[in-house]
Structure 1
Amino acid sequence: MVGFRSLKALVLGAGLVAGLGVQAPALAAGGEIHLPDTRFSFDGLFGHFDRASAQRGFQVYKEVCSSCHGMHQLSYRNLRDLGLSENEVAGIAATVQVMDGPNDEGQFVERAGRASDRFHAPFPNEKAARAANNGAYPPDLSVIAKAREGGADYLHALLVGYEEPPAGMQLGAGMHYNKYFPGHQIAMPAPLNSDGQVEFHDGTKSTIDQMARDVSQFLTWAAEPELEQRKAMGVKIILFLTVLGGLAYAVKRKVWADVH
């Protein structure tokens, strides 16, 4: 799952951008957009995922985002990597109904989801998704954190950037003002619209900012779950090359010590 998803991120990025009609944040109409630096736990050379935050982020996705956005590249069993138990994962998967088959009679039957199933899609196809969203197509969120310039900072800013439009600005029909969205007009209404919208299982206060941070953490993990291993390997390689360089220099000094 890890390698496959990372490889496809580059390919799917362009399609996801086209799906929303999004350009890079720095190329927004009317000037450059400066994203706030959210400072996530996974930033920096020694960064790591905050699994408690990512679990809360999955809860936000499940209760808010999943009604419109799918995450087809993830299976429910992947949630074990966030620290969820097998029973918890099985319980989450069992809340959805999937079509399975054909059986011995050649029929497709509906059954409860299993841990091995992909995340349940909210719509059967793109046309159904557009019909339910006034023509806009909600993209799959599996690699959205890799497909947007700014990554998690952009996702967080987008979710907290809804506000009333400036005086004199005319919004298009069905559009909403967002100060961090390119062009500032977005078809998606504010998904996080009030504090306490999601009641976190761990008791964390669910402000709009907290929910946006947590779901951004979860979406970054979903797009790049191997990030911690990659950083750990990078540190090891740097240490190895540092030691190797020191040894090579010491050998060079020893070999050429008598040459003037």
Structure 2
Amino acid sequence: MRALKTAILSAALALGIAGAAQAAESVHIPKQSWPHSGVFGTIDKASAQRGFQVYKEVCASCHSMHLVPIRTLAGIGFTEDELKALAAGYEVQAGPNDSGEMFMRPAVPADRFPSPFPNSQAARAANNGALPPDLSLMAKARVGGEDYLYAFLTGFEEPPAGVHLMDGMSYNNVFPGHQVGMPNILQPDGVTYADGTKATVEQQAHDVATFLTFAAEPHLDARKQMGVKVILFLLVLAGLMYATKRKLWSTLH
């Protein structure tokens, strides 16, 4: 029975369930307004910086981002000195040394964000058998992307009458099946934003969804800029080719 409960909790962990992307298609996800949407949209760097703060102070105790180098944050406005100071607050495994032993050292910006747990077994033991998913690509891994992340983070509520939650589960109105192994982690004023923005649950959810979108695709802005340049180049080239065609054909009549 214990093994069955562990399996259920692991499978139902928020954002980590296998096949949740397909199941989420049957759940209505409200559309939000994102500055980075559309061809000319760009990442709101201030929002992404606040979102990183939410990740660091609220999410990072359970969720890793082991695919994201710390220096990636330069893309949302962190300076070199800020990145060095931030990295120094983490420790990463290095080595082997001359004695053939691994050791811990302060991280540098080139290092990736370390996991809060040494291995998956330790992560499960600390989370009632459930394995918190890595958030590096979460914004790309879910149908609805940042809209889904926002809806999920703001979707915790008391279960309707007659709905019985399994032990260790929380009710979420947009998660497929509505029972998740993650508690409601966002609380009003759960963080204090340095820029004075009021930290409502909705604001925190919006900011961390923006940050995770950036983390999943840090070159989003550059890609869009390049796309616009390519389109403009092709339009100019098409115009020149058309003018050349008319000039050449005009000499044949």
Confirm or deny a common fold (TM above 0.5).
yes
Distance in 2 between the 1:148 and 1:23 partners? 7
**What residue is the counterpart of 1:207 in the other structure?**
200
Pairing partner for 1:23 from 20, 35, 39: 20
Shift of 1:249: 2.7
Q: After the TM superposition, which of the residue ranges 105-114 and 182-191 deviates more from structure 2?
A: 105-114
Q: After the TM superposition, which of the residue ranges 108-117 and 206-215 deviates more from structure 2?
A: 108-117
**What residue is the counterpart of 2:129 in the other structure?**
135
Q: Is the Cα–Cα contact under 8 Å of residues 142 and 219 in structure 1 kept in the other structure?
A: yes
**What residue is the counterpart of 2:105 in the other structure?**
111
Pairing partner for 1:197 from 174, 186, 190: 190
Distance in 2 between the 1:181 and 1:18 partners? 9
Distance in 1 between the 2:14 and 2:241 partners? 48
Shift of 1:24: 2.4
Corresponding pairs, count: 241
Q: Is the Cα–Cα contact under 8 Å of residues 150 and 206 in structure 2 kept in the other structure?
A: yes
Query: What's the secondary structure of 2:114's corresponding residue?
Result: coil
Query: What's the secondary structure of 2:105's corresponding residue?
Result: strand
Matching of residues 47-58 of structure 1 within 5 Å: 47-58=41-52
Matching of residues 209-224 of structure 1 within 5 Å: 209-224=202-217
Q: Percent identity?
A: 56
Aligned: 1:227 with 2:215? no
Shift of 1:122: 0.6
Shift of 1:257: 4.4
**What residue is the counterpart of 1:9 in the other structure?**
none
**What residue is the counterpart of 2:77 in the other structure?**
83
Distance in 2 between the 1:104 and 1:259 partners? 81
**Where do 5+ consecutive residues of structure 2 fail to align?**
1-12
Distance in 1 between the 2:144 and 2:223 partners? 20
Change (3 A) 1:18 1:78: closer
Shift of 1:68: 0.5
Query: Residue type matched to 2:33 in 1?
Result: R
Distance in 1 between the 2:14 and 2:226 partners? 31
Change (3 A) 1:97 1:256: closer
Shift of 1:246: 2.3
Distance in 2 between the 1:68 and 1:18 partners? 13
Pairing partner for 1:250 from 243, 248, 251: 243
Shift of 1:127: 1.2
**What residue is the counterpart of 1:13 in the other structure?**
none
Q: Is the Cα–Cα contact under 8 Å of residues 93 and 115 in structure 1 kept in the other structure?
A: yes
Pairing partner for 2:38 from 34, 44, 47: 44
TM-score normalised by structure 2 residue count: 0.87
Change (3 A) 1:200 1:245: same
Distance in 1 between the 2:182 and 2:104 partners? 31
Q: Which runs of 4+ in 1 moved over 6 A?
A: none
Query: Residue type matched to 2:184 in 1?
Result: A
